[in-house]
Amino acid sequence: MKYDFNKIEKKWQKYWADNQTFKAVNGSDKPKYYVLDMFPYPSGAGLHVGHPLGYIASDIYARYKRHQGFNVLHPQGYDSFGLPAEQYAIQTGQHPAITTAENIKTYRRQLDQIGFSFDWSREVRTSDPSYYKWTQWIFIQLFNSWYNNESDKAEDISTLETIFSSEGNTKVNAVCDDNVENFTADDWNSFDSKKQQEILLQYRLTYLAETEVNWCPALGTVLANDEIVNGVSERGGHPVIRKKMTQWSMRISAYAERLLQGLDKIDWTDSLKESQRNWIGKSVGASVTFNVIASEAKQSANYKSNTSDAERSRSDQNVISTTLNHQIEVFTTRPDTIFGVSFMTLAPEHELVSQITTPEQKAEVEAYVLATAKRSERDRMADVKTISGAFTGAYAEHPFTKEPIPVWIGDYVLAGYGTGAVMSVPCGDERDYAFAKHFNIPIPNIFDGVDISEGAFSDKEKTVIGNSDFLNGMNYKKATKRAIYELEQIGQGEGKTNYRLRDAVFSRQRYWGEPFPVYYDENGMPQMIAAEHLPVKLPEVEKYLPTETGEPPLGNATVWAWDTNKNEVVSNDLIDNETIHPLELNTMPGWAGSSWYFNRYMDANNTEEFASKEALDYWQDVDLYIGGSEHATGHLLYSRFWQKFLFDKGIVPVDEFAKKLINQGMILGTSAFAYILKRSAEMPVSYVNEDFDKFQKAKNFFSDGLKTFVISKELRNKIVHNQATKKDLVEILKYDDWFDSESKKKGLDIKLNDISAIDIREVHVPVEFVNSSNEIDFSKYEKWNSDIIGAVILSDVAHREVEKMSKSKYNVVSPDQICIDYGADSLRLYEMFLGPLEQYKPWNTAGITGVHNFLKKLWKLYHQGENGSFYVSSEGSPPSEGLGEALKTLHKTIKKVQEDIENFSFNTSVSTFMIAANELTAQKCTSKEILEPLLVLISPYAPHIAEELWEKLGNSGSISTAPFPEFDASHLVESSKNYPISFNGKMRFTMELPMDMSKEDIEKAVMAHEKTQEQLAGRTPKKVIVVPGKIVNIVG
């Protein structure tokens, strides 16, 4: 009987769906186990073979846990809000909800054909109002909370209001905006409601604030750093500027320390934890306040010794009066180097810059500020070599020496880190050193026995401080402590811990995202829509682009106002600022919906609650989470933040959502390349017009298809690095004198030199192109537009590279055809067989025959009857020698497979199955005693064939909950060992000796062997090492 995988797989997929085999129940006598995959974004391109890798691994684990008697929750859903659907909508006018639904359908079909054991009754879609209702609800909870540093948790905002009205805010230890003003209880009670709300907003865990963003005026949207290339937008190449905008933010910084500490109690990979630690970026040091002295005061201060008493007292007054005006606060990790400060540097965006700059320096400073504003942050970061800055003309006073310190601005200081200002210690910091050298600022040396003529000395361990008053002779640790103490004594500093982690901007100027449950009242203050009126559904819009006035796409909605009487969305025309108010136009970012979905699966269909308390208490958290490492600092950090917040509010029972996390590696595709001739980007349009005739002729020349040439490796490198010149082109085309003769033949009468301003570029092409010797019409490939003259040049040995699978690289392999040709079980086995789960590895469809043949062999093992009919002997247990061997094979396999699954080493268990099948085939094993438990072992990996054979064995129902076979070590006991006999560490021959033979007897036996004598050639061995059960080594 043939192994008809297509029929078998369909049959069992239908069976599982019809019987809801994998539906998890909330509450059970069995212990719970929650296996989760990172849910996919349903893109239009569908799945490629890389996507299911992690799903297969988690599915194997989930199935294994079911065999072990766990109540397994293994859900799946879709992260269905996102940019591609919106982009498609902009291009085609098609509503994102429609395309998303279609894409989900495709995904579901593709997932189903692979035979996953998902509980689809719990499916979630982030773009579904019944889901995002709760995303909005969590947003409201965040809005209604503040972070109390005393209790170290989030609390209801009402507790803060109570404190304010009874004692003001001076004693409150809360995480809040930097610039909150102090007020007393009386002040608070006298404030009007608007003022009170403004203040509260500075404490809420989600808040509105002016944030500096990358704004692209042409696209009318904010761009993320990675959407900007060389200072212009990746899409369209439009200029991008830094701009302040009012945006919703999430006060994740409140949780910085807990996010850091929490890493210690979860079983995630070290590299991932390390990325999160770096991202949180804790650094311990001090904050130091420097008083700014006015320029005239500074001058008198400088000449103090020469001035009269009267003048001195006047200047002192001057100093005092001006120091009250401005203070510069800096953060430093090296307070021990405070006596090495020779200047200060502010970020150009620092708010003090305009206030302290002297009239003489104004022009220079303003020019510099403007110049930096034009550069994107990434641009600034990328260009670290160029030193630039400007002197403000202002001076600050050293807290101890009272010496004047010039205040500079420089773009190496980032506004977004610390306080946006640094005390510059050129002798101890490379950047400060370079800056000081460049602008001829003195570099005082405060390190004993260190030469700083060539560069700064930043080694903390070897530091001995000198020239530093009370810090002299101290090491880094001592000096730091003392410096902080002294700063505290004079009230100009304190020990401080700084985190790199910034509050997360939560507003997007997009259509296809969760709308905020927020309207703006007559004072322009944000108000939450009461939870019982959620969800606030996305409005319909005519177009998905920003409005002409630059408002986000929701600004196009005509029915987008909130009626506080009727508690529903009404037409904008009705806005009266009394009962009907405008709604928020921004939407939430992609990570909103994915930051809590793992909790929703526990009770996905609950309409009353986010999830019931019973469900949350039962499932607790994710036991195993599998997904890509690219989410290390995004999704995985935000989710931990929300989880901790929800924990503080008593909504969820644990403050870390996933106990164990594994990153699956990427499956890479093989790309092929060709080389195109393209109108040079540098060629001005006017030039094209002049030369249009020649350009067209060249185009005609190449128009009839693909040409094949030989290109050298060197030339290829040139092309890739955009260094190929026309001379190189001439060289290629002269090959075989092909160009000249062809040109004449066609009567085009052009010479190579006539074709001006042509670039040669490397482009991805479908692999079939490279394999084909035919001329191929490439005009149907959209990427190749009218700027392309047309020739495609292939190297003799087509260049291939292994890279990420992507539609644009034409290297995508779809699982669909593989399921048709080889079956889902083969696909599952092969994906696991490719290599370790975490590793990046290339895909090669050809190799699948190996695992496919194994499945056929396995099938045959159960069909050794007449004409290959199903035959498994269920005769008792004949103690024949054959079965002894088979038992050994079985138990060896049980042991190895169980170990492998628990170590997530799925690739080696596939090998183990192959070995088992090979051995049992050789043993001609037909015993049910062996072949039945074997099926349970294989079932997590290849569930369809396992179910089919399980049924044929006469079992009713699914194999999925059959108990995992128990390993019995007694079957593996060996009576003898084939000892490797080595001489000086080199294995020469083997010898079969009894297991229980003593060390001495082994040595005797080995020494008596003729080959030993041969090897020794008469010499007497110096030493004989015998490790019973392992090895014999003779040293001589």
Partner RNA sequence: GCUGAAGUGGUGGAAUUGGUAGACACGUUGGACUUAAAAUCCAAUGUCCAUUAGGACGUACGGGUUCAAGUCCCGUCUUCAGUACCA
The footprint of RNA on residues 254-293 (CB under 7 A) is 270-271, 274-275, 278-279, 281, 283, 285
Cα(84)–Cα(181) distance, integer angstroms? 43
Residues in region 775-814 near RNA by CB under 7 A: none
Q: How far is the CB of 465 from RNA (least distance, A)?
A: 16
Is 659 in contact with 266 (CB distance < 8 Å)?
Answer: yes
Is 913 in contact with 937 (CB distance < 8 Å)?
Answer: yes
Q: How far is the CB of 447 from RNA (least distance, A)?
A: 16
Is 765 in contact with 792 (CB distance < 8 Å)?
Answer: yes
CB nearer RNA, residue 391 or residue 833: 833
3-state secondary structure of 266: coil
Q: Does the protein bind RNA through residue 17 (CB under 7 A)?
A: no
Residue from 319, 483, 676, 851 touching RNA (CB under 7 A): that is 851
Residue from 41, 78, 412, 619 touching RNA (CB under 7 A): that is 412
Question: With CB under 7 A as the contact rule, which of the stretches 406-414, 532-540, 650-658, 952-960 interacts with RNA?
Answer: 406-414
Q: How far is the CB of 368 from RNA (least distance, A)?
A: 12
- Structure-token pair, residue 891: 């138990």
Residues in region 871-900 near RNA by CB under 7 A: none
CB nearer RNA, residue 547 or residue 845: 845
Q: How far is CA 104 from CA 42, 78, 222, 591, 1017, in A?
A: 6, 8, 28, 19, 75
Q: Does the protein bind RNA through residue 230 (CB under 7 A)?
A: no
Is 467 in contact with 444 (CB distance < 8 Å)?
Answer: yes
Q: How far is the CB of 1031 from RNA (least distance, A)?
A: 4
Q: Does the protein bind RNA through residue 503 (CB under 7 A)?
A: no
Q: Does the protein bind RNA through residue 326 (CB under 7 A)?
A: no
CA dihedral 467, 468, 470, 475 (to 10 degrees): -90
Q: How far is the CB of 263 from RNA (least distance, A)?
A: 13
Alpha helices in 763-808 (DSSP H): 767-771
CB nearer RNA, residue 567 or residue 717: 717
Q: Does the protein bind RNA through residue 322 (CB under 7 A)?
A: no
Residue from 847, 868, 957, 963 touching RNA (CB under 7 A): that is 847
Q: How far is the CB of 997 from RNA (least distance, A)?
A: 16
Residue from 182, 306, 308, 386 touching RNA (CB under 7 A): that is 386
Is 604 in contact with 75 (CB distance < 8 Å)?
Answer: yes
- Structure-token pair, residue 96: 């994102």
Q: Does the protein bind RNA through residue 10 (CB under 7 A)?
A: no
In sequence order, which residues have a C-beta less than 8 Å from that of residue 857 and are 6 or more positions away? 917, 918, 921
Residue from 26, 523, 990, 1021 touching RNA (CB under 7 A): that is 990
Cα(813)–Cα(804) distance, integer angstroms? 11
Cα(75)–Cα(39) distance, integer angstroms? 9
Residues in region 600-659 near RNA by CB under 7 A: 629-630, 632-633
Q: How far is the CB of 1007 from RNA (least distance, A)?
A: 16
Q: Does the protein bind RNA through residue 129 (CB under 7 A)?
A: no
Question: With CB under 7 A as the contact rule, which of the stretches 10-18, 136-144, 377-385, 882-890 interacts with RNA?
Answer: 377-385
Residues in region 814-843 near RNA by CB under 7 A: 833-836, 839-842
Cα(1017)–Cα(1036) distance, integer angstroms? 11
Q: How far is the CB of 410 from RNA (least distance, A)?
A: 7
Q: Does the protein bind RNA through residue 850 (CB under 7 A)?
A: yes
Tell me which residue of 1011, 836, 733, 865 sits closest to 269, measured CA to CA: 836
Q: How many CB atoms lie within 10 A of CB 545?
A: 17
| DSSP per-residue string spanning 600-639 | HGGGTT-SSSSS-HHHHHHH-SEEEEEE-GGGTTTHHHHH
Question: With CB under 7 A as the contact rule, which of the stretches 87-95, 113-121, 414-422, 722-730 interacts with RNA?
Answer: 414-422
Q: Does the protein bind RNA through residue 522 (CB under 7 A)?
A: no
CB nearer RNA, residue 708 or residue 908: 908
Cα(1014)–Cα(1009) distance, integer angstroms? 9
CB nearer RNA, residue 761 or residue 857: 857
Q: How far is the CB of 484 from RNA (least distance, A)?
A: 13
Quick note: the x/- pattern for RNA over 905-944, rule CB under 7 A, is x-xx-xx--xx--x--------------------------
3-state secondary structure of 502: coil
Cα(599)–Cα(80) distance, integer angstroms? 17
Quote the distance between the C-alpha of residue 622 and its chain's center: 19
Helical packing angle, 943-952 and 848-861, nearest 10°: 10
Q: Does the protein bind RNA through residue 356 (CB under 7 A)?
A: no
- Structure-token pair, residue 156: 């209801």
Helical packing angle, 713-720 and 726-734, nearest 10°: 140
CB nearer RNA, residue 279 or residue 642: 279
Which run of H or of E encompasses 1035? Answer: strand 1031-1035
Q: Does the protein bind RNA through residue 74 (CB under 7 A)?
A: no
Q: How far is the CB of 989 from RNA (least distance, A)?
A: 8
Q: Does the protein bind RNA through residue 242 (CB under 7 A)?
A: no
Question: With CB under 7 A as the contact rule, which of the stretches 161-169, 479-487, 749-757, 848-856 interacts with RNA?
Answer: 848-856
- Structure-token pair, residue 213: 């963003």
Q: Does the protein bind RNA through residue 724 (CB under 7 A)?
A: no
Q: Does the protein bind RNA through residue 50 (CB under 7 A)?
A: no
Residues in region 668-707 near RNA by CB under 7 A: none
CB nearer RNA, residue 586 or residue 1012: 1012
Say whether the peptide bond before residue 589 is cis (omega within 30 degrees of 0): no
Residues in region 417-456 near RNA by CB under 7 A: 417-420, 422-423, 429, 431
Contacts 24+ apart (CB under 8 A), 450-459: 452/427, 455/430, 456/426, 456/427, 456/428, 456/429, 456/430, 456/432, 457/427, 457/428, 458/428, 458/429, 458/430
Residues in region 999-1028 near RNA by CB under 7 A: 1015, 1023, 1025, 1027
Cα(151)–Cα(167) distance, integer angstroms? 18
Q: Does the protein bind RNA through residue 238 (CB under 7 A)?
A: no
Question: With CB under 7 A as the contact rule, which of the stretches 332-340, 542-550, 784-792, 879-887 interacts with RNA?
Answer: 332-340
3-state secondary structure of 113: coil
Residue from 44, 868, 878, 985 touching RNA (CB under 7 A): that is 985
